[in-house]
Amino acid sequence: MLYEELTQRIIGALIEVHKQLGAGLLESAYEQAFCYELSQRGLAFQRQVSVPVRYKGIQLDCGYRLDVLVEDTVIVELKSVEQLMPIHEAQLLTHMRLAGKRVGFLVNFNVLVLMDGLIRRVL
């Protein structure tokens, strides 16, 4: 599995956040708690990373942002929705492609068991 050790550490941080906060909060609360957990695990991360969009040779200033980029390697998109939809997964895959990253997680915290709201994708 690509980046197995790193992704296991990320999943551990996500599970800890869900265990402590449960479901029903805004994405921003989960993002802050997740970043705290990453820092406690000694993992480097960036929040709200700008994603460049190129169109016919020009760079568009569209304001697209990744929720969290861990170790400049893994994209983590956080949601707190009733149900993950195909458009959420498409967003993750597009962000991965635009940012040139091979591994990404789509996480829905609005579930009883976090693993039911966790999708891992590899390009």
Q: How many domains does the chain have?
A: 1
Q: Phi and psi of 55, rounded to 5°?
A: -140, 115
> Please, what is the Cα angle at 62 between 103 and 110, to 5 degrees?
50
38: nearest Cα among 72, 84, 81: 72
Q: Tens place of pLDDT for every residue, the chain, 123 residues?
A: 679 999 999 999 999 999 999 999 999 999 999 999 999 999 999 999 998 888 898 988 887 899 999 999 999 999 999 999 999 999 999 999 999 999 999 999 999 999 999 999 999
**pTM for the complete prediction?**
0.92
73-93 as b/e: b if 16+ CB within 10 A: bbbbbbbbeeebeeebeebbe
pLDDT confidence of residue 1: 65
Residue 107's domain comprises: 4-122
